[in-house]
Structure formats: structure tokens, C-alpha cells
Amino acid sequence: MKNTDITLLSAMWLNKNNTSSNRKSYGRRIVEHYELEIILDGSGEMICNNLTVKTIPNRLFIRTPGMVVEGITPYHSYYIIFSSVSNELANFDFPYYMDNMNYLMELFKTVYMENLNVSFLSRLKTESVFQELLYQILNCISGHAADNLLRSIHYINRNYCRRIDIPFLAESAGYSLNYYITLFKKAQGVTPIQYINSLRITRACKLLAENDNTIETISAECGFVSVSYFYRIFKKMKGITPTQFRKDLRSYYDDGPEG
């Protein structure tokens, strides 16, 4: 099936008759074409570029050429492979997976069923439904990155004084760590660590001005893992140490502003 630059290569149904009911690897491989796989049921895993994600119902996996992937049963799914000779798809920020995609299930099923039939009408229907499926996914992706990054930022804003695991945020968003950092920096202008440290230093300045707690206490209250790291980041961002910042601030208020 061909339409412009996109070609449907195959459509499969992985079910209890052709997959293992026990934990079994499909083997590690490099993805050659674009792949869409929506999970029907099961409790296996999908490993892509060293990121491991559970295969839960209604989870859609999106794989692009060059990814290193390994599927581990048990799980059942509809699985579509297609190719593109254009650079248009390469311009999309594809997530590794998206959840709650059950509304696409019938489209996947129809592509699979109609692709079994070689009649002219079935080929037309397969092409039409596949184009609709791809449109729905790409349309969803267009807002997916922004939504996931927004959720990450909200999470960071609420929890920056606690330990924040960047790899966990990346996995929650459905991205590899490196790709998540790239998207975050594109959206915010800084890396996640730089963003977190900025929030922590801003709070540290407020605490240094408002109370007499020790530098060690303030460092811990702001989420820094060590006082030495706190000092290093503070001086890098403010140009002076926390101790000097507090001293200068109090001297300013004791002496009063000039003029």
C-alpha cells in the first residue's frame, strides 16, 4: 500500500496463538523502519535504547529507524511496520510510548484485518484507515511533548527541594534521558539540572535573608545533596558565596541604601 511517500509494509496481530505465555525475549535488534505497536494485554516489557517500559493495555509504542529494541513477553498487541522516503516524519519529536490510546484500537484492528485481504477494495480501505491512524497519532504527538514537559516542570516546581531523579522524569515522559534533556532545554533554555538549581538558589537567597539558620541547614532545606555542592552552585550563579551574600545583605539593611 502506497500513498505519497509512506508505505505500509506489514500488519501483525501478536496473540496467545503465536506468542509465548512465559517470559521470553524476541531478541535484541536495530529498528529498520517505523513501527507502531499498541498493547492489548499482558505484563511483559519493551526495552528501547536501554529504557525499560512495561507493556500494559492501551500503551502505544512508537519506534523509529535506528532504535535498539527488545520485546519481552508475555503481551499481545497489534503491530504495524511502515516506511517513509521523506524527511517529514523525521521532523517529529517522537515519544517512545504514549498511554491511554485505546481509541486507536479499532483502527489498528481494521488495518490488520483488511491487510489480510488482497482485493482492490480491501487495499483501498487499508490505505484509508492506515492514513487515518497515522494522522491521529501524529496529531496527538504534536501536543504530547509540550504536555509531558509541562507536567515535568509542574512536578519540579512542587518538589525541587526534594531529591529529583531526572531519569525518572524522562521515563515518565516516555523519552530516553538524552532526548528528554534535549527537549527540556529546547523548551526552557536550560537543562533540567540547571532549572532545578535555579529554583533552589532562589529559595536559598530568600532563606538566607529571612532567618539565621546555618548554611548547612539551608543547603539541606533547598534540596542540595552536600554543602560543598551548594557553595559551588551558589557562587557560580551569584558570583559570591552564601556566607558573603548573607553578610552583604545584612550590611545593606544595617547601613541603609545609599542616596
Which residue, 203, 237, 241, 196, is CA-closest to 222?
Answer: 203
Average pLDDT over residues 156-177: 87
Average pLDDT over residues 193-219: 93
* Model pLDDT, residue 3: 45
| pLDDT at residue 129, as a whole number | 93
H/E stretch holding 51 reads strand 51-54
Spatial contact of 135 and 174, defined as CB atoms under 8 Å apart: no
Binned at pLDDT 50, 70 and 90, residue 219 comes out as very high
Q: What is the pLDDT of residues 16-40, one digit of tens each?
A: 999 999 999 999 999 999 999 999 9
Give pLDDT, residue 178: 81
> What percent of the chain shows pLDDT beyond 70?
93
List, for residues 5-17, the tens digit of each pLDDT value: 789 999 999 999 9
How much is the pLDDT for 179? 78
Which tens digits make up the pLDDT trace of 49-77?
888 999 999 999 999 999 999 999 999 99
1 pLDDT higher than 50: no
- Give, in words, the CATH class of 193-255: mainly alpha
Distance CA 104, CA 137 (A): 8
**CATH code for the domain defined by 2-143:** 2.60.120.280
Burial class of residue 174, CB neighbours in 10 A (0-12, 13-18, 19+): buried
For the chain, the domains span: 2-143, 193-255
Instruction: Provide the pLDDT for residue 6.
Output: 86
